[in-house]
Each structure stands twice: as structure tokens, then as C-alpha cells.
Amino acid sequence: MTELVRDVMKKNVISIDSSMTVQDAAKMMDDASIGAIVVLENGIVTGIITERDMTRRVVAKGKQYTTSVKDVMSSPVVVVNPDDSVWEAAQLMRTRKIHRMPAVQNNILVGMITTSDIVRLCSVGSDSEMRRITEQILLRMKPQ
């Protein structure tokens, strides 16, 4: 059975408008105990801002907390379709060296998949099931 992104993604995703400040984003992340927020412009996903972005692009550069999210977000953002397989999402995350991907369908944000979601999927079931899944992951990760 092929697991789809929609089966493991978080559906309740926090987003922020690109015109808001990094302080607004940091407060939202802190309140929700999350490490990233999807950035929208006119309702369309245009970026993502992570704790790492805050550290590298705001604090390390001495930028003001009133800096707009748009100025420090990661963009263009890599997105996934909720109907893609989890394996396709994992492969994309691996090749792009990212840990989170917004799920977008018809230009609308519908969820977020993270490496933690994929690990959780792999840890469900019997030991033999876990071994089978792990073997599949390792086979797919071998250099071509």
C-alpha cells in the first residue's frame, strides 16, 4: 500500500502574510511551538520562514525585528501535492536538503509534511513491517 502525503501531513498549518514582521512570525512560532511558518502573498504560498532563517538572516545579520517576513523567508519554496506518495516527498526532501514542505493543491495551502511525519510513519506497525519500510528507504537512497 502506498502512503500518500495527505495521509501523514499536518492539516492545521499556520501561515503568515508576507507583509508581516519577523517578530510577528517568531511570536506565532513560539505560541504554536513550531519551527516554521508558511508565507502567503495574496493567499498563494510564496515562501517559508524557519527558525534557521531567523537565526541566519535576522539575528546574525543584525536586522531589526520589524523586518518584513518577505525579506528573510526562504523562497522559492519547494511544495508537494497531497496526492504525491510519501516516498516521492521523502526523495524531494533529501535531494533539496529540506525538512519541511507545504502541501499545495490548486494553489491553496492544504497541509505540511515534515521529516518527523515520515519517521513517524516508519515507526508504526510491527518490527517486520518497520524493517521492510527501512529497507525500502535505504534502497531508494542508494546512489544511482
Residue boundaries of the structural domains of the chain: 5-141
Determine how β-strand 36-41 pairs with β-strand 15-17: parallel
Distance CA 42, CA 50 (A): 20
Residue numbers of the chain with a pLDDT score lower than 50: none
**Given CA atoms 84, 78, 33, 29 in this order, what sign does their dihedral have?**
negative
Q: What are 47-64's pLDDT values in tens digits?
A: 999 999 999 999 999 999
Distance CA 96, CA 114 (A): 13
Q: What is the pLDDT of residue 1?
A: 55
- Answer whether CATH 3.50.30.50 is correct for domain 5-141: no
Q: What is the pLDDT of residue 128?
A: 62
Give yes or no for a contact between 70 and 39, defined as CB atoms under 8 angstroms apart: yes
Q: What is the pLDDT of residue 119?
A: 82
The helix (H) or strand (E) run that includes residue 119 is: helix 115-122
